[in-house]
Amino acid sequence: MNDFKWRHYQGAIILSCVRWYCKYGISYRDLEEMMVERGIEVDHTTLYRWVQHYAPLMLKRLSYFWRPSLGLSWRVDETYVKVKGQWKYLCRAIDKHGRTIDFYLSSTRNINAAKRFLSKALRKLKDWEIPSTINTDKAGSYPVAIKELKEEGTCPQEVKHRQVKYLNNIIEADHGKLKRLIKPTLGFKSMKTAYATIKGFELMRMFKKGQLRAWYYGQGLMGEVRLIDRQFGIYTA
The pLDDT tens digits for 156-166 are: 999 999 999 99
Is the domain of 29 the same as that of 81?
no
Is the domain of 120 the same as that of 36?
no
Predicted confidence (pLDDT) per residue in 205-214, tens digit: 999 999 998 8
Residue 39 lies in a domain: yes
Write down the pLDDT at residue 180. Answer: 97
> What is the signed CA dihedral for 232, 21, 173, 222, rounded to 10 degrees?
50
Evaluated on CA atoms 26, 109, 171, 198, the torsion sign reads: negative
Q: What is the mean pLDDT of residues 28-34?
A: 98
Q: Are 184 and 26 in contact (CB under 8 A)?
A: yes
Q: Is 87 helix (H, G, I), strand (E, B) or coil?
A: strand
Which CATH number goes with the domain that contains 141?
3.30.420.10
Predicted confidence (pLDDT) per residue in 222-235, tens digit: 999 999 999 999 98
Write down the pLDDT at residue 237. Answer: 62
| Residues whose CB is less than 8 angstroms from the CB of residue 103 and which lie 6 or more positions away in sequence, other chains included | 90, 91, 92, 93, 198, 202
Is the domain of 58 the same as that of 89?
no
Is the domain of 139 the same as that of 173?
yes
Residue 86 lies in a domain: yes
Residue 1 lies in a domain: no
Look at residue 16 and tell me whether its pLDDT is greater than 70.
yes
Predicted confidence (pLDDT) per residue in 120-147, tens digit: 999 988 888 899 999 999 988 999 999 9
Write down the pLDDT at residue 219. Answer: 83
Residue 236 lies in a domain: no
Q: Report the domain count for the chain.
A: 2
Residue 148 lies in a domain: yes
Is the domain of 42 the same as that of 60?
yes
Residue 207 lies in a domain: no
Residue 98 lies in a domain: yes
Residue 170 lies in a domain: yes
Is the domain of 93 the same as that of 162?
yes
Write down the pLDDT at residue 230. Answer: 94
Measured CA to CA in angstroms, residue 11 lies from 4, 18, 65 at distances of 6, 11, 21
Q: What is the mean pLDDT of residues 146-175?
A: 96
Is the domain of 132 the same as that of 87?
yes
DSSP 178-208: HHHHHGGG-SBS-HHHHHHHHHHHHHHHHHH
Predicted confidence (pLDDT) per residue in 101-122, tens digit: 999 999 999 999 999 999 999 9
Is the domain of 160 the same as that of 120?
yes
Decide which of 3 and 94 is more confident.
94
Helix and strand tally (H, E) in the chain? 8, 5
Is the domain of 111 the same as that of 150?
yes
Decide which of 1 and 41 is more confident.
41
Q: What single-letter DSSP state applies at residue 80?
A: E
Domain residues for 155?
74-182
Measured CA to CA in angstroms, residue 106 lies from 87, 89, 202, 208, 211 at distances of 10, 5, 16, 25, 25
Instruction: Return the exposure string of 137-166: e unless at least 16 CB atoms fall within 10 Å of the residue's CB, then b.
Output: bebebbeebbebbeeeebbeeebebeeeee
Predicted confidence (pLDDT) per residue in 38-76, tens digit: 999 999 999 999 999 999 999 999 998 877 677 689 999
Is the domain of 174 the same as that of 107?
yes
Is the domain of 177 the same as that of 80?
yes
Is the domain of 104 the same as that of 27?
no
